[in-house]
Amino acid sequence: MNELKSHGSTDLDHLSRLKALCWLSPAELNLLVNVLTLANFKRRSVILQETALAAQVHILLTGIVRITCMNARSERVTVALIAPGLIPELPALPISRSNFQCEAYNDCRVGTLSFDEFESITEKSAESAFRHLHENDLTQWYRLLLRSSSFLNLGLHERIAITLLELCADFGIEESRGTLLRVSFSQKDIANLVGASRPRVTEHLARLEREAFVVRQGRQLIVRVAQLQQSIGSHAKLVGLTS
């Protein structure tokens, strides 16, 4: 029994640290942890399929999840890497061949509840609750649009820079040399995120190193965020990656 109480307390601690839920009161967080259906997922396992992602509220307590889909060559590629917080809702269209799914990038703990349960917990702020869910979805899909679309005429170098800033905002730790990416994301991951080949990404990362915007520390990257933001100017503001 003590072990169960300790585990519940840990889940509450994780929820309390999530920026995406900072607007909930301590009482609402307590209610939330008690109604969540919680599950652990090992690295590379499938957490949710396309239709399930639009059916309920899903909260990532620990770990990193990747959103993947099928590309035109029927290859499964990564389109987003999600930090602890609300897992974005995905479009489940009857004619879609994308087959979006949510996978565990590393070991993850995920909580799930229905929209009705979420609304009952936030009864006094239901409008705010769904506004936050909507804003979270829009943020993730706007990022995806900027990283992979040509409608803003962003070159590959700028898209890679924006992707690095995005990863730093979600997974970085500030230190004396810049922002250290705690996770060693592969060049293939970055290539998928920007819709380019791995050799092209390697080429542009090497250029960012020569320009002193990126420093390698073993398999990890240190990004000089302020300088990189300045180098791409207004484009960084488009994704809310400037202070």
User: Whole-number mean pLDDT of the chain?
Assistant: 84
Domain with CATH 2.60.120.10 in the chain: 2-148
pLDDT at residue number 2: 37
pLDDT over 60 at 94, yes or no: no
pLDDT over 60 at 131, yes or no: yes
CA 116 – CA 162 distance, rounded (Å): 36
pLDDT over 80 at 12, yes or no: yes
pLDDT over 50 at 31, yes or no: yes
pLDDT over 70 at 88, yes or no: yes
Dump the DSSP string for 150-209.
Answer: -TT---HHHHHHHHHHHHHHHHEEEETTEEEESS---HHHHHHHHT--HHHHHHHHHHHH
Kindly state the tokens that stand for 226: 């302020």
Which is more confident, 10 or 147? Answer: 10
pLDDT at residue number 1: 36
Q: pLDDT by residue (tens digit) across 132-188?
A: 788 888 888 888 877 876 666 788 999 999 999 999 999 999 999 999 999 999 999
Mean pLDDT in residue range 84-96: 73
Q: pLDDT by residue (tens digit) across 201-237?
A: 999 999 999 999 999 988 899 999 999 998 887 555 5
pLDDT over 50 at 4, yes or no: no
CA 77 – CA 98 distance, rounded (Å): 10
pLDDT at residue number 168: 94
- First and final C-alpha spacing in the chain: 46
Confidence of residue 91 (pLDDT cuts 50, 70, 90): low
CATH number of 156-238: 3.40.30.10, 3.90.1300.10, 3.40.50.1820, 1.10.10.10? 1.10.10.10
pLDDT over 90 at 191, yes or no: yes
pTM over 0.75: yes
pLDDT at residue number 116: 85
pLDDT at residue number 5: 40
Q: Cα-flanking dihedrals φ and ψ of residue 105, to 5°?
A: -75, -40
pLDDT over 60 at 82, yes or no: yes
pLDDT at residue number 119: 83
Domain with CATH 1.10.10.10 in the chain: 156-238
Q: For domain 2-148, give the fold.
A: Jelly Rolls (2.60.120)
Where is average pLDDT lowest: 20-24, 38-42, 44-48, 143-147? 143-147
